[in-house]
Structure 1
Amino acid sequence: MKTISRTKAAYLNSSIATIAQFINLIFSFITRYFFIHELGSIYLGLNGLFLNILNILSFAELGIGSAITFSLYGPIYEHNHHDILALMKLFRTVYRAVASIIFVCGMILLPFLTDFIANKNLSSTVGNVYFAFFLALMNVVVSYLLSYKRSFLIAAQLGYIDSVNRLLFNVFTQIFQIIFLLTIHSFYLYLFIQLLLTFLSNVRITIIANKRFPYLKDLSKAERVSKDVVDYLKKNVVGMMSAKFGGVVVNGTDNLILSSFIGLSIVGLYSNYTLFLTGLSGVLTQGISAVTSSLGNLGSEAGSINRQKDIFHQYQYINNFVSVFGSFGLALFIPDVIHLWAGKSYLLSALVTFLIIENFFLIQLRQNVINVTNAYGLYWFERYKALIEALSNLIISLGLVVIFKMGIEGVLLGTIASNIFVNSWWEPMIVFQNRLHGIWKRYTFNYLAILFVGTALLFIQIFVINRLFSNVSIAEIIIKGLVFIVSLIAALIITSICAHISPIKLIKERIG
């Protein structure tokens, strides 16, 4: 098995993943533009509802894939083909079972689909909602077939291969979707194209993996995984199951609450913002999380704990800067982009915009800890955190929406509350108690500094700077660009002082 250095793998995976995700983001905006103008906000809301329901059904995966991927780090580092084949056979079996469970659960849910929609007469507007959901369901089912070798490439620090493959098929998917939206105006065909290209993408990545690692072709001769690995998986699947449940509730119920109590139109408006946030988060997170396999590889090396601590601090520093970079850009320019792209009627209020981006900011600040947790396989220790996160988010969101009639603001406040009162301290505590001991004070100081400074600057950008302009103009873009640069420099200076890290020195070390 050919290997490359951790540093080279980290930079290669991170850079290519970021570039690929950015290109995907551009094409997603273009496709969404034609989707809105050809099909309208009702279809947009319906598509967003489908995505949230299917995200909940994906709970069937239970995070087993992540646990198995972590188990691959050691055998890959040791070039142990015997254990690799055993784990890959288990991976294949699990994902086939997951695909079957999701399909069955989706078909059971199908007759009750309209219960999640405030407008019960929606079929007269958009046609057969059930057939559309079936196509969306099959896209998720197919995504689990043949995808286990994709995870192997990522564990082997070859994630850039998967990034390029995803980029090619995403571009093809969206080009064909745009063509058929303009010519046939069919939501069903839009979903079918997505289903077909998802399948072909998995076929191609399997062929690539087999060609690069021929011993992966025949898993029929692979033996069972060892008892130690089975015991580890049983233990960590419980942790991953609760973590998965927390993620599903937090990320998958927002649109369900909105569509059930408010209506699909607001879901459509909100989904435009989440498209930008998800797209940008994908770009930023790809760059940050692409080094997870390298961190896992380093964690398999004995006697490297001090180096791991140093890298963790540098990782937090980089993630903090990336988080404010993305959040400031969204705060200043997302209203203008949506105004020009979809129309002024698709804009949400300044308060809602602030809550959306503040939530984005909080989530991005967590990414370094999340990726370190994944790299070290600390899933078992998250089991209670995820459940409390999910329940607090759901209870607060429903209470604010149903009792206090707060609408979308209530949903967003529920998510923000769970991030601040649960995730912000519990997730890093897991890492510090079980792996990187003695560095929690430095981490906490850095986190609180960037949180308060970043939030204050976001408030000024949204409620002061944005309100100075009513129409998009060159002068506005220039002024906002200057505000963005000044805000970024201020955040960089404060982050550097708090972290005791010089960005120039850090760059020189990485280049050297």
Structure 2
Amino acid sequence: MKSSRVENSIRNTIYALGTQIFSMLMSFAVRTVFIYTLGKDYLGFNGLFNNIFSILSLTELGMGTAIIYSMYKPVAQEDHRKIAALLNLYRTFYRIVGVVVAILGLSLLPFLDYLVSGIQDIPELEIIYLLYLSSSVISYFFVYKKSILIVYQQDYISSRINLIINSIQGIIQIAILILWHNYILYLLVLTISTFFNNWLNSLYVEYKYQYLKEYRSERVDKETKQKIYTDVKAIFVSKISSAIVTSTDNLLISAFISTIILGLYSNYIMLINVVNTIINRILDSLVGSVGNLIAVESIERVYLIFKRVWFINYWLVVFSSISFFILANPFITLWVGKSYLLSSGIIFMIALNLFMRLIRNTFIMFNNAFGHFVELKKKNIIEPIINIVASLLFILVFKMGIIGVLLGTFVSNITTNFWFEPYLIFKKCQVSLKEYFKIAANYLLTNIVAGGLTYILCDICLTGNSWVLFLIRIIICCVAINLVIILFYRKTDEYQYFMMLVKKVLKLSR
């Protein structure tokens, strides 16, 4: 990997991680004030409406992923005309999507009462929903330009803008909640912030890449357009699959269990989203570099880097998932009280699904960079069928509640993604799938040792709950989990490469 590619990745990672940690702290502050000022009833709306609009985002069809993949080669070749043509196609399509999402979103208004349960009538329910809809629709008219920052490995610019806007948004929302306890104004600030965030990114792209104006009327050739449409058809199936597997959990809990219970669950999901977002931001900063790598390097070099990225992702994921299982309930108890707790069995399933979801990051990244959209189509059809059938079976027949929903997600993941996504990459790299299972088995053994050791030290050896004990648990997680990983992998190429990156990060951070 070329030095400039490594440095771009590290720079993007530093900014992404720094801004995400700050955003996490700000979100936590806003969430805390939200809980104490508005209570459990409104808490469930965040998870419910966010999932509705995740499903509506399926109208994007995967065009963004397909076009970003198509940009890697022209960016490497500095073919400005083709880059602009692809972005123009992206712009036109996203404007259509924005209108379609608005129409579909409005069509759901009469059915809101059927999606909300366990909450007294709230007269402003429609207004709340419309504000969520507005925030979602606004994004489609600007966000397409961020793709340029990704393919040019300039994600840190977007991170800077996010930091500024999110800071202002959080401060204003906290003030509104404390002074007026007004959920409508709270959401109005969210909508306005979404607009300015996307608009400022758009202004920067127009200023930085002047050739986009020069080729504003450029059109994609027929052959490239046909290839994009072929990929889009396959990616759309993937989008549907992802929406069913990840976005329907909240809908099932709200409809079949209780929207108030969903509010309790959403606190844990907030913590999950923090972990998910931080890790994804770190890996997203590598997307442009991986695309460039595949466009210009040999398949042997690609496989070497794949294993290194997989190891880095694994380290982050195993630390995060075990720490979540150990720390989630003590944190919730200290933060908002025992009345907001869920059982340890539920927490274990949340942590397990967190691990299963995030360990796929490397496979998803490289499959997208390879353009394996059509190859994944069958898997993406089978996965949601297994998920929805298993979830409903566990909920309606076995009466397992939230655990049933989470178990359905796990079953669909282990029977499809666990083996098929790696299979495509190993096949492309001309390596036997046995090598994948060998590496995965070693990682599983490390999980068991690290998780077991940390659980014994934190939950069996330590009793009681206070901020001091919570801090001790954090220290134990940091030491025990990382020590086990270092002992297991200190002599591997992947570990040595990771240490080299750490040194570069420290150097660039000075």
Question: Which residue matches 1:118?
Answer: 117
Question: Which residue matches 2:132?
Answer: 136
> Which among 489, 492, 495 is matched to residue 503 of structure 1?
495
Relative to structure 1, is the Cα distance of residues 462 and 342 closer, same or farther in structure 2, using a 3 angstrom cutoff?
A: farther
Question: Which residue matches 2:507?
Answer: none
Question: Which residue matches 2:425?
Answer: 431
1:163-203: CA deviation from partner (whole Å, max 9, x where unpaired): 11122212211111111111111111111111111111111
C-alpha displacement of 1:479: 5.3
C-alpha displacement of 1:511: 5.0
1:10-67: CA deviation from partner (whole Å, max 9, x where unpaired): 1111221111111111111111101111111110012211111111111111111011
C-alpha displacement of 1:114: 1.0
Q: Which amino acid aligns with 1:101?
A: V
Q: Decide which moves more: 129-138 or 340-349.
A: 340-349
1:83-108: CA deviation from partner (whole Å, max 9, x where unpaired): 11111110100110111111111011
> Which among 151, 159, 162 is matched to residue 163 of structure 1?
159
Q: Is the 8 A contact 1:14 1:287 kept in 2?
A: yes
Relative to structure 1, is the Cα distance of residues 477 and 48 closer, same or farther in structure 2, using a 3 angstrom cutoff?
A: same
> Which among 370, 388, 391 is matched to residue 394 of structure 1?
388
Q: Is the 8 A contact 1:450 1:494 kept in 2?
A: no
Relative to structure 1, is the Cα distance of residues 180 and 382 closer, same or farther in structure 2, using a 3 angstrom cutoff?
A: same
Aligned 1:444-483 pairs, distance under 5 A: 444-455=437-448, 457-458=450-451, 461=454, 465-466=458-459, 468-475=462-469, 477-478=471-472, 481-482=475-476
SS in structure 2 of the partner of residue 300 of structure 1: helix
Aligned 1:79-478 pairs, distance under 5 A: 79-119=78-118, 122-123=120-121, 126-217=122-213, 220-222=216-218, 224-301=219-296, 304-433=298-427, 435-438=428-431, 440-455=433-448, 457-458=450-451, 461=454, 465-466=458-459, 468-475=462-469, 477-478=471-472
Gaps of 5+ in 1: none
Quote the Cα distance in structure 2 between the aligned partners of 1:350 and 1:270: 13
1:311-365: CA deviation from partner (whole Å, max 9, x where unpaired): 1111111111111121222122222221122212111111111111111111121
Quote the Cα distance in structure 2 between the aligned partners of 1:134 and 1:459: 47
Q: State percent identity of aligned pairs.
A: 32
SS in structure 2 of the partner of residue 397 of structure 1: helix
C-alpha displacement of 1:461: 4.7
Quote the Cα distance in structure 2 between the aligned partners of 1:4 and 1:506: 15
C-alpha displacement of 1:122: 3.2
Q: Is the 8 A contact 1:88 1:219 kept in 2?
A: no
Q: Which amino acid aligns with 2:130?
A: F
C-alpha displacement of 1:374: 2.0
Relative to structure 1, is the Cα distance of residues 25 and 476 closer, same or farther in structure 2, using a 3 angstrom cutoff?
A: closer
C-alpha displacement of 1:480: 5.5
Q: Is the 8 A contact 1:22 1:280 kept in 2?
A: no
Quote the Cα distance in structure 2 between the aligned partners of 1:318 and 1:307: 17
Quote the Cα distance in structure 2 between the aligned partners of 1:295 and 1:502: 16
Relative to structure 1, is the Cα distance of residues 452 and 510 closer, same or farther in structure 2, using a 3 angstrom cutoff?
A: closer
Q: Is the 8 A contact 2:323 2:477 kept in 1?
A: no
Q: Is the 8 A contact 1:350 1:463 kept in 2?
A: no
Q: Which amino acid aligns with 2:429?
A: L
1:219-238: CA deviation from partner (whole Å, max 9, x where unpaired): 5421x211221121111111
1:345-390: CA deviation from partner (whole Å, max 9, x where unpaired): 1111111111111111111211111111122222221111112111
Q: Is the 8 A contact 2:149 2:155 kept in 1?
A: yes
Q: Is the 8 A contact 1:332 1:484 kept in 2?
A: no
Relative to structure 1, is the Cα distance of residues 35 and 218 closer, same or farther in structure 2, using a 3 angstrom cutoff?
A: farther
Task: Please give the TM-score of this superposition, normalised by the length of structure 1.
Answer: 0.93
Q: Decide which moves more: 470-479 or 129-138.
A: 470-479
Quote the Cα distance in structure 1 between the aligned partners of 2:15 and 2:238: 28
SS in structure 2 of the partner of residue 348 of structure 1: coil
Q: Which amino acid aligns with 1:251?
A: T
Q: Is the 8 A contact 2:331 2:470 kept in 1?
A: no
The number of equivalent residue pairs is 502
C-alpha displacement of 1:464: 7.9
Quote the Cα distance in structure 2 between the aligned partners of 1:356 and 1:412: 7
SS in structure 2 of the partner of residue 11 of structure 1: helix
Q: Is the 8 A contact 1:323 1:365 kept in 2?
A: yes
Relative to structure 1, is the Cα distance of residues 509 and 169 closer, same or farther in structure 2, using a 3 angstrom cutoff?
A: closer
1:487 matched to 2:481 = yes
Over the aligned positions, Cα root-mean-square deviation in angstroms equals 2.1
Q: Decide which moves more: 340-349 or 408-417.
A: 340-349
SS in structure 1 of the partner of residue 465 of structure 2: coil
Q: Which amino acid aligns with 2:17?
A: T
Task: Please give the TM-score of this superposition, normalised by the length of structure 2.
Answer: 0.94
Q: Is the 8 A contact 1:292 1:374 kept in 2?
A: no
Quote the Cα distance in structure 1 between the aligned partners of 2:502 and 2:451: 31
Quote the Cα distance in structure 2 between the aligned partners of 1:38 and 1:307: 54
Question: Which residue matches 2:19?
Answer: 20
Quote the Cα distance in structure 2 between the aligned partners of 1:315 and 1:196: 37
Q: Which amino acid aligns with 2:248?
A: T
Q: Is the 8 A contact 1:450 1:495 kept in 2?
A: no
Q: Is the 8 A contact 1:320 1:495 kept in 2?
A: no
C-alpha displacement of 1:483: 5.0
